[in-house]
Amino acid sequence: MLTALEKRYEKARFGSLFPDIIDENMLIDSFECCDTLEGHTGCVNTLRWNRNGQLLASGSDDRHVKIWRAGLEVESLATGHVGNVFAVEFLPGSSDRKLVTGAADHIVFLHDLEVKNGGKRRWELEGRVKRLCTLEQESTLWWAAVEAVEGVQCIRAGQHVVSYAIVVGFDETPVRLYDRRNFSNPLLVLNPLDADADTFQTTHVAFNKTGTEVVVNQGNSGGICVFPIDSYDAPRTMERLNDVLGGDGEPTISSNNLPYPDLREAGHMMLKEKKFSKAVDYYSELISRNYKDRAFRSVCYSNRATALLVRRQRGDTYACIRDCVKALEIHQGNSKALFRLIKSFTSLETPEYAKTCVEVFRKWYPNRETEAIDNMEKDVVMLKENEDQNNLASKPGYMDYTQRFVGTSNCQTDIKEANFFGSRDQYIVAGSDCGHMFVWNRDTSRLQGIWKADDHILNIVQPHPEAFLIATSGIDDDVLIWEPVLEKEEVEGFITRRHADPFEFIKNYKETYGVRHQTLRQFQRHGQQCVQS
């Protein structure tokens, strides 16, 4: 007999020639809250599925861990902690009858559900325990991520499918990949090239299914970045730019000769109406279609760069540079891409790169934008060479991001997650200070949708290990279960939690709360300890 979810999967199948292929975009678009797990009496700070996804463990400020099966509570464990529970893990090889928990009281407990009163073993650590990791191959080994008394705080740890690799995030921008057999030096440092060490704070890290990529959620408006861990996949933006600028140029692209005027006009109107995030999303969709016309593809990248440059969120200027480099790689006749590179380098106060781009612009396009280039050259000359200026060149042992996603607010809590989702890890899911679940499509770089998931702050987003399903929690006392609902029209009085226009919601939220983020950082609900210390 098919379960309800399996029946929904069957309805999502398409094409008689491809009976086993599921349109996961359709499933995402039909996501709704299908179950609410009630029982906790405080913020639910951690969720963890067991290996096959039949059980879900939740830990809360009420200092209890509850275990759920098919939406029903089957165990309620008084952990013995005297602080908020921030971490819970099923111990491998225990038939899911042993749990490890960590909390704000600096304690890690090992619980045996088969023993009366939990049969606890106890370890006392140096700070609040914010994350636990286990390893399937070694059932007696686990890691605790702890807020250190001295030095860097708010460590986040994620275990690789390869047993010796572990990635660790701190209360700073760089995330480090270690061989756990040697923690003296990291194998790799994951860090956006334009960000200093103290620019952002890492609130969560996670590997994809194959262990080839890491997703990092960066607090303080840093957005969410995906990093490769193989040097072969490194972006090498500045090295590629040097290769491009060493070329001879091409005839300048003329808008009169570009195809798809309707598509170009639609994007132009978004920029004109100052809907910059929507324009970024729109051009991302056009880029994903990979049009055959080389000039048009190049212009899509440079127009997205324009939207990034004028949006002016943290990291947007560097993202603009990356798009302009790609645009020039596709077609060196894109004068606007090179023009925006000069503006971006000037904005980032990198005079060396800006001067080089000015020289190349005069060489490639001697009769274009002469007055504007003269003025920009004056701005470049005013920039002073100094040791603190941005150095965007790749550093040995460092890895730049391959994808970046923005829109969430991540300033109020230090446990906010971002995870891979989908059969190919083709989605990124994350929580936000606005209480909404965000989902991005990695294939198109677009925001797939946002759903209201908490009345205050959404912290935890845990994809099911096998099914197309997500569990979420936050400041509210309950846990929400999300899955596709394809037959919404059959449900009387059904009200969706999804926002019809995510960009309008984001705009309104930031206009209301954005200027008060520093004040809201001190926000605590009933004195709870899930905010940044």
| pLDDT tens column, 201-242 | 999 999 999 999 999 999 988 899 999 998 878 899 999 999
Domain boundary among 339, 365, 382: 382
Max avg pLDDT among 11-15, 138-142, 344-348, 458-462: 458-462
- H or E element that contains 49: strand 44-49
Q: Nearest-CA neighbor of 472 among 460, 485, 455, 456?
A: 460
* Shared-domain flag, residues 249 and 373: yes
362 with 295, same domain?
yes
pLDDT single digits (tens) 174-200: 999 999 888 889 999 999 998 887 889
Domain assignment present for 510: no
What's the confidence (pLDDT) of residue 136? 85
CATH number (domain holding residue 328): 1.25.40.10
**191 shares a domain with 258:** no
- Beta-bridged to residue 46, according to DSSP, are 59
Indicate if 216 and 242 belong to the same structural domain: no
Banded model confidence at residue 365, pLDDT cuts 50, 70, 90? very high
Q: Where is 317: in which H helix or E strand? A: helix 316-330
pLDDT(3) > 70: no
Q: In what order do the strands lie in the sheet with 165-169?
A: 156-159, 165-169, 175-179, 188-190, 398-399
Tell whether 377 and 277 lie within a shared domain: yes
Structure tokens at 500: 């019809």
Among residues 202, 230, 258, the one where a domain terminates is 230
Residues 371 and 344 in one domain: yes
Expressed in angstroms, the distance from the first to the final Cα of the chain is 50
Determine contact, residues 124/107, Cβ cutoff 8 Å: yes
Cα angle value 382/388/394 (rounded, 5°): 105
The answer to whether residue 352 is domain-embedded is yes
**205 falls within a domain:** yes
Task: State whether 175 and 217 are in the same domain.
Answer: yes
> Residue 377: enclosing H or E segment and its boundaries?
helix 370-382
pLDDT of 171 reads: 87
Quote the number of domains for the chain.
Answer: 2
Distance CA 23, CA 10 (A): 10
Q: What is the pLDDT of residues 420-477, one digit of tens each?
A: 999 999 999 999 999 999 999 999 999 999 999 999 999 999 999 999 999 999 999 9
Measured CA angle at 486 (ends 485, 489), to 5 deg: 95
pLDDT of residue 386: 58
Please, which residues have CB within 8 angstroms of residue 146's CB and are 6 or more apart in sequence? 106, 125, 126, 127, 128, 129, 130, 155
**Alpha helix segments (H runs only) across 253-315:** 261-272, 276-289, 294-311
Tokens coding 526: 């009933």
Confidence of residue 162 (pLDDT cuts 50, 70, 90): low
Same domain flag for 245 and 195: no
Answer whether residue 51 is part of any domain: no
Reading the block at residue 398, the tokens are 């460092």
Task: Name the residue among 382, 316, 305, 320 with its Cα closest to residue 351.
Answer: 382
User: Which of 362, 382, 402 corresponds to the end of one domain?
Assistant: 382
For strands 56-60 and 458-463, give the pairing: unpaired
Which domain range does residue 317 map to? 237-382
- Tell me, yes or no, whether 34 lies in a domain: no
Examine the pLDDT at 279 and tell me if it is beyond 60: yes
> For the chain, what is the mean pLDDT?
88
Residue 423 within any structural domain of the chain: no
499 falls within a domain:
no
Beta carbons of 196 and 408 less than 8 angstroms apart: no
Same domain, 257 and 373: yes
Q: Which helix (H) or strand (E) holds 65?
A: strand 64-69
Task: Please give the average per-residue pLDDT across 290-319, as a whole number.
Answer: 97
More confident residue, 301 or 395: 301
Are 245 and 328 part of one and the same domain?
Answer: yes
180 in a domain, yes or no?
Answer: yes
Task: Give the Cβ contact number of residue 112 at 10 Å.
Answer: 16
Among 457, 455, 438, 459, smallest CA distance to 447 is for 438
Question: Is residue 358 located within the same domain as residue 281?
Answer: yes
Tell me, yes or no, whether 192 and 244 share the same domain.
no
Given a cut of 70, whether residue 159 has pLDDT beyond it is no
Are 481 and 37 within 8 A, CB to CB? Answer: yes
